[in-house]
């Protein structure tokens, strides 16, 4: 077993360092050139000050160095964030804003009058470029992970049920980068059947298996039958082999910001915040919906006019289609769409579901639906039929992001805990739409919707909206 981090992880970290340096230096120097000009005399222009004689070139050097130091101190290149989650992006934003905030405070304290235009150019350009750079490197990392490269060779340790559960979750999220190569469990034969081609070992063979399979990450999925002193010994042995030890919480589908650690009586306790769906957070989401929907309606109005005319000219019937859906707290509302089916298509739904044998399932989807018009197939492929729902958002019956609204007949089929998806407004797009759109089954869709309800954040909404644009362009999985 090699010592230290995997070679790919070290190379990836170095690439991020080089990219950050190039972007920060380019942004700061570019802001100086744009604000004051490219000639040597311009670049050496002094900063007006009551007590310090300093040029903008020196200011740029100090700003760039401070920015890079803050990116390092903020752990923006932490290996645990490579390729997964939004923590990497949040850390970049936080480190950047902290840099410029401290810079402004120090300039004020030193009575250095730095031009606002200079800072207002460097900050947005640098921040957007840093986030774009991280995004592009992450895309490349995901591509390589789908090829089986740049992954962590992982061992799962725990009871049979928990090992198999974590294995299924990891198989569903290849981009996370965990490749399970071996499992150590209390029920060797049962897990061997559940995991297929993954080799299994007993607890007694755990350390030997780490060496044999060149494991660099061990995940403890459950420790009910492993006493604390044995787990501690295993941790020491893994440390000696430079193997990462990860302890997975039994609670699943909980985002990082809701989890807090507290050290007590010699062991860590995990505190889990309950989701906050009221007050300022809900107001912030509503304000974002209002302003974003107004902007999108204004920008997309020419396209909506073209779609409306196309619907009117291509088939007989109304341009717009309204259907009652169930919204927040179970309240019904009319959801607007461009008509993509023949007139009175709803009258045929029950018989088509019966013929398909899915009338008892909450996610009503008709395969090869004969009611859809030729134009409607095109509109649905690129989600153009959903555009009128921007008016639902403006009126407050929907949100830009949230669980997809369903019919009353579908809601009637919910299990008890499924009703938690009605705690927030339904959305035009949501987490399950960008994770497979209509190709997901109900169990996966409800799991993703409940995850969204439990872990909502404005940053998460922005990420989902960005992924929605990509999913629509790719036209993948839309019915």
What are the tens digits of pLDDT across the range 337-382?
998 887 766 555 656 555 555 555 555 566 666 677 888 888 888 8
- The answer to whether position 40 is within a domain reads yes
Neighbour-count burial for 330-360, b at 16+ CB within 10 Å, e otherwise:
eeebebbbbbbbeeebeeebeebbeeeebee
Is the domain of 180 the same as that of 125? no
399: containing domain: 279-474
Separation of alpha carbons 130 and 143, rounded Å: 20
CB 389 within 8 A of CB 335: yes
Please report whether residue 479 resides in a domain.
no
Residue 260 lies in a domain: no
The answer on 99 and 156 residing in a single domain is no
Same domain for 126 and 160? no
Tell me, yes or no, whether 272 lies in a domain.
no
Given 146, 169, 203, the domain boundary residue is 146
Q: Does 319 share its domain with 408?
A: yes
Question: What residues contact 240, with CB distance under 8 A and at least 6 apart?
Answer: none
pLDDT at residue 479 in the model: 47
Residue 264 lies in a domain: no
Asked whether the beta carbons of 191 and 160 are under 8 A apart, the reply is: yes
Residues 60 and 156 grouped into a single domain: no
Residues 316 and 447 in one domain: yes
Of 200, 228, 248, which residue sits at a domain end? 248
Asked whether residue 273 is domain-assigned, the answer is no
Verify that 326 and 415 share a domain, yes or no. Answer: yes
- pLDDT in 10s for each residue of the chain, 479 residues: 445 578 898 999 999 999 999 999 999 988 888 877 665 554 555 555 545 566 777 888 888 999 999 999 998 998 888 887 778 888 999 999 999 889 888 877 777 677 777 788 889 999 999 999 999 999 999 999 988 889 899 998 888 888 888 888 788 778 888 888 888 887 767 776 677 778 888 888 889 999 999 998 998 887 777 787 888 888 888 888 888 888 877 655 665 566 666 665 556 666 666 666 677 888 889 999 999 999 999 999 999 999 999 988 888 888 898 889 999 989 999 999 998 887 766 555 656 555 555 555 555 566 666 677 888 888 888 889 999 999 999 999 999 999 989 888 888 888 888 888 888 899 999 888 787 555 567 777 888 888 888 778 888 888 889 888 877 776 554 54
**Whole-prediction pTM:** 0.68
Structural domain includes residue 12 = yes
Indicate whether 409 and 373 sit together in one domain: yes
Mean pLDDT of the chain: 81
Distance of alpha carbon 39 from alpha carbon 89, whole angstroms: 35
* Whether residue 326 sits in one domain with residue 217: no
Cβ(56)–Cβ(38) below 8 Å: no
Other beta carbons less than 10 A from residue 271's beta carbon: 9
CATH of the domain at 164: 3.40.50.720
The count of domains in the chain is 3
- 476 Ramachandran zone, left/alpha/beta (phi>0; psi -120 to 50): beta
Residues 104 and 45 in one domain: yes
Do 299 and 435 reside in the same domain of the chain? yes
pLDDT digits (tens, 9 = 90+) for 212-235: 999 989 988 877 777 878 888 888
Residue 245's Cβ-count burial label (10 Å; 0-12, 13-18, 19+) is: middle
Which of 146, 167, 189 is a domain's end point?
146
Pair (183, 135) in one structural domain: no
Give domain status of residue 258, yes or no.
no
């Amino acid at each position: 077993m090699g010592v230290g981090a995997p070679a790919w992880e070290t190379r990836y970290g170095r690439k991020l360092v080089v990219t950050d340096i190039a972007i920060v230096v380019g942004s700061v120097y570019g802001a100086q050139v744009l604000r004051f000009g490219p000639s040597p005399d311009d670049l050496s222009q002094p900063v007006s000050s009551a007590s310090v004689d300093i040029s903008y070139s020196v200011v740029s050097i100090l700003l760039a160095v401070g920015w890079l130091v803050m990116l390092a101190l903020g752990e923006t290149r932490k290996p645990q964030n490579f390729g997964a989650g939004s923590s990497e992006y949040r850390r970049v934003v936080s480190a950047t804003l902290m840099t410029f905030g401290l810079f402004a405070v120090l300039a004020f304290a030193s009575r250095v009058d730095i031009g606002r235009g200079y800072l207002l150019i460097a900050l947005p350009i640098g921040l957007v470029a840093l986030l774009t750079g991280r995004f592009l490197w992450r895309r490349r990392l995901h591509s390589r992970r789908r090829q089986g490269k740049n992954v962590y060779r992982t061992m799962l340790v725990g009871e049979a049920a928990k090992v198999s559960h974590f294995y299924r979750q990891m198989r569903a999220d290849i981009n996370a980068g965990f490749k399970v190569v071996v499992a150590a469990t209390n029920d060797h034969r049962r897990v061997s059947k559940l995991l297929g081609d993954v080799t299994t070992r007993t607890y007694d063979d755990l350390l030997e298996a780490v060496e044999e399979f060149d494991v660099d990450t061990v995940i403890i999925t459950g420790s009910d039958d492993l006493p604390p002193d044995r787990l501690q010994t295993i941790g020491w042995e893994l440390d000696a082999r430079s193997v990462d030890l990860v302890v997975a919480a039994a609670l699943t589908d909980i985002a990082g910001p809701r989890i807090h650690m507290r050290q007590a009586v010699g062991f860590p306790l995990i505190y889990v915040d309950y989701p906050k769906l009221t007050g300022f957070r809900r107001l912030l989401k509503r304000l974002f919906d209002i302003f974003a929907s107004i902007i999108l309606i204004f920008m997309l109005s020419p396209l909506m006019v073209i779609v409306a005319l196309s619907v009117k000219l291509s088939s007989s019937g109304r341009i717009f289609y309204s259907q009652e859906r169930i919204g927040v707290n179970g309240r019904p509302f009319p959801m607007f769409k461009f008509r993509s089916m023949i007139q009175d298509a709803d009258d045929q739904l029950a018989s088509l579901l019966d013929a398909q044998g899915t009338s008892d399932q909450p996610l009503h989807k008709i395969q090869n639906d004969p009611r859809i018009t030729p134009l409607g197939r095109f509109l649905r492929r690129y989600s153009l039929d959903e555009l009128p729902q921007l008016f639902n958002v403006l009126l407050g019956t929907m949100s830009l992001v949230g669980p997809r609204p369903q019919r009353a007949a579908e809601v009637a089929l919910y299990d008890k805990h499924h009703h938690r998806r009605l705690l927030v407004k339904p959305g035009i797009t949501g987490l399950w739409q960008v994770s497979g759109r209509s190709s997901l089954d109900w169990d996966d869709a409800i799991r993703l919707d409940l995850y969204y309800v439990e872990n909502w954040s404005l940053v998460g909404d922005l990420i989902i909206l960005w992924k929605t644009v990509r999913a629509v362009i790719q036209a993948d999985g839309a019915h």
